[in-house]
Amino acid sequence: MHKKPKLRMHTEPQRDTRHRATEVIQRRFDDLLDQLPAGIVVHDADGRVLAANRLALHLLGRDQDAVLGLPAHAATWRFLRADGSPMPQEDYPVNRVLRDGGKVSDLVVGVPGATPGDTRWMLAGAYPEVEQERVRGVVVSFTDCTALKLAEQSLQKSEQRLQLVLRGSTDAPWDWDLVSGETYYSERWWELVGWRPGELEPDPSAWLRLMHPDDQPRVTAFLAELLATERQGYAIEFRLRHRDGHDVPVLARGYVLRDDTGRALRVSGTTTDLTERKDAERRIYELAFFDHLTGLPNRRFLVEELGKILARSGRSRQLGALMFLDLDNFKLLNDTMGHDVGDMLLRQVAARLRGALRDADHLARLGGDEFVVVLENLGTTAPEAVAEAQRVGRRILDALAPPFDLGACRCASTPSIGATLFDDNRTGIDTLLRQADLAMYRAKADGRNTLRFFDPGMQEAAARQALLDGQLRDGVARRQFVLHCQPQFARDGRLAGAEALVRWQRDDAGDGAPALLGAGEFIGQAEASGLIVPLGMQVLEDSCRLLARWAADPWLGALRLSVNVSARQLREPGFADALADLLADSGAPAHRLTLELSEDALAANPPGLAPRMARLAELGVQFALDGFGSGASPLARLRRWPFAALKIGSQLTGGDRPLVEAIVALARKLRLGIVAEGVEDEAQRIFLAECGCDLLQGYLLGRPVPVAEFERLYGAGRQP
């Protein structure tokens, strides 16, 4: 009876002691968990939370009452994968352990915050509590790796940016560790030289083996100097041999990493493909210095090269020559056959010139149909140099002599060549070009298809021409040009017409120069300078006024007045309209006006010639072909143009009866009149009258005289 209470009194204190000890241990364990630098969450066999330490609650952003008892499913937790995508419920660490029974380690888990982008990243592990081979619980531990994750993301973004930049450029990265010898060539680097990574040994000398042999000494010396100095940045251009055999121009640039003593440890950089840049530079150079049509050097290149040539000539004391070449009648071909044919001719001329010249000679195209040849080392004396230059000139003439195949036709094109000698740079480049140009014009004047050398007399003639040009301009502005008239008679001696001839009445001639100049003294210069257009219009104005005045005279009113018109006037688009206005304003009878056109004017066949002639013919104006038979007359075109007469010159009026009779017969067939000029004696007059010429003109019958004298001699008020 007494034993049981005693035992009970002894047992109850023992239980209290064990309970208190357990509580102490639990508190100490809880304190230990709270001090751990990792978050700890304990789950039961169903995945519910049994406990969580203070750091876990902080990292999860929840308090203890809200966490205890929560199940491990998606409705409770929202975790993210390492790539930022939502983590499936079955991949939660606790669920993987409960499912597989194994531990999970180093799993990156994201815990979204309250606001977008406020994600906390954890490095998590999960371990099973096993009892009797059954998982009785799961302990999940995790540490904050947000800073590392953000650093990784930043690094990934930087890497992506770098890859995008490199992918969009021609830069190929590479790296060379000088200490270990390890070398890195990027995939882009191997692509640049046409190889795939791994096909060639990627050792430090791979780039040297692929380098152009001519560049190796220079680049090797550059690298040795770079590593021996304390330089950090570098850049150098060289060529790498592509797998298919062509050379790739590249630019290597980068940085040298050095230790505290300045010793080079590492060389890193990029290799840039310069092919496009080099091609662009070459195209720019060609556009600046070469003619796009023929591929020859242009004027700019020639001028720069001439400076060097003249300097060499001065040092060697060897004479040289500059040749100026112009194609004869090129403008006529261009106007009649079109610019495409003209371009074809220029290309073929350039090719033939290249073949005719020596290797050391220089050839350039200045523009249009003008070419320049520069010859060096022709000898130490002028006779030697002239002889050698003449030999080259002869080869050029021979090379251009055969006809050119211009597609649908074959055409001959001869050159006129002017040359001048030089021995040093004391004679300026512009002077040499001007001298050769003057000599070229002498070659044209001497019959074309020939070579002429410059002499000082040409310069004096050019100076006189320049002076004459200035005086002509002043004379046109001051209307110093007056008309003279030469009578034209029918075969029976009846006065039938007159030719208006222009004279230059200079009231400021001075220096004993004649006050009155014939057309032969200035018409050529007026044509060359373009002054023939305003001068010709003045002549037509005076002629129309003259016809209007003669209309009131019973004798002069029946005459026709012939006026010469140049090819340049015919090329003016407004010529026909301007003459029509002159006729209307002056009241001149259009049917009394005859315009004389030269064969050259017809051969040039300026655009719109036929419509202009037709417009004037409708008004009554007549046309005569002047100098017929003196050149290659376009007989097939005579029917197309409204000619009323053919005019033959003194070269036919000297007694060539068969030819004159043939021309007269042709004129009769075409219903054209015949005017013969240059009648100097009675025998000529009789001969031409017998041949059937309609009108005769010449000194025998009447000289050109001023208008007032012509009116006195042949008008109604003339003296019997």
User: How many whole angstroms separate alpha carbon 50 and alpha carbon 320?
Assistant: 108
The residue written with tokens 């007694």 in the block is 655
Which of 107, 138, 166 is the last residue in one of the domains? 166
Number of domains present in the structure of the chain: 4
What was the pLDDT predicted at 407? 83
Q: What is the pLDDT of residue 571?
A: 80
Q: What is the pLDDT of residue 258?
A: 92
User: Do the Cβ atoms of 372 and 321 come closer than 8 Å?
Assistant: no
Q: Pick the last residue of a domain from 166, 188, 203.
A: 166
Q: What's the pLDDT at 3?
A: 41
Q: Which amino acid is at 705?
A: V
Are 374 and 474 in a shared domain? no
- Residue 96 in domain: yes
Residues 70 and 128 in one domain: yes
State which residues form the domain around 187.
Answer: 169-279
Does 162 lie in the same domain as 174?
no
pLDDT (tens digit, 9 = 90+) per residue, 327-363?
Answer: 988 887 887 788 889 999 999 999 999 999 988 899 9
Together in a domain, 686 and 697: yes
Judgement on whether residues 381 and 437 belong to the same structural domain of the protein: yes
In angstroms, rounded to a whole number, what is the distance separating the alpha carbons of residues 37 and 40? 9
pLDDT of residue 720: 46
> What pLDDT does residue 10 have?
46
720 in a structural domain: no
Structure tokens given for 67: 């966490």
- Same domain? For 273 and 347 the reply is no
pLDDT score recorded for residue 163:
65
Q: Is residue 194 included in any domain, yes or no?
A: yes
641 is a domain residue: yes
- The predicted pLDDT at position 74 comes to 67
> Which residues lie closer than 8 Å to 436 by C-beta, 6 or more apart?
322, 323, 324, 372, 418, 419, 420, 454
Q: What angle do CA 676, 677, 681 make, to 5 degrees?
A: 100
For residue 2, the model assigns a pLDDT of 43
Residues 161 and 173 in one domain: no
CATH code (residue 215): 3.30.450.20
Q: What is the spatial distance between Cα 502 and Cα 505, in angstroms, rounded to a whole number?
A: 9
Per-residue confidence (pLDDT) for residue 661, from 0 to 100: 83
**pLDDT value of position 9:** 43
Q: Which of 643, 554, 540, 551 is nearest to 582 (CA)?
A: 540
Alpha-carbon span 339 to 333, nearest angstrom: 9
The residues near 94 (Cβ < 8 Å, ≥ 6 apart) are 41, 43, 47, 72, 126, 138, 140
Q: What does each C-alpha distance from 538 to 428, 478, 551, 590, 615 come to in angstroms?
A: 41, 11, 20, 17, 21
Q: Which of 402, 431, 454 is the last residue of a domain?
A: 454
| CATH code for the domain of 564 | 3.20.20.450
Do both 354 and 424 map to the same domain?
Answer: yes
CA distances from 474 to 506, 518, 524, 710 (A): 10, 17, 17, 28
Q: For residue 367, what is the domain's CATH number?
A: 3.30.70.270
Please name the residue that has the structure tokens 């010429």: 693
Amino acid at 715: G
Please choose, from the candidates 422, 397, 219, 335, the residue with its C-alpha nearest in 3D space to the C-alpha of residue 604.
Answer: 335
Same domain (yes/no): 663, 680: yes
For residues 521 and 666, membership in a common domain is answered with: yes
Question: 251 and 310 in one domain?
Answer: no
Question: Is residue 14 in some structural domain?
Answer: no
Average pLDDT, consecutive stretches of 10 residues, N- to C-terminus, the chain (720 residues): 41 61 60 75 90 86 85 82 89 90 89 80 90 87 86 75 61 89 90 89 88 93 91 92 93 91 91 88 84 91 90 88 92 82 93 91 93 93 90 94 88 91 81 92 89 81 77 91 96 94 81 75 85 94 96 93 89 90 95 88 68 90 83 60 84 66 86 91 88 92 95 77
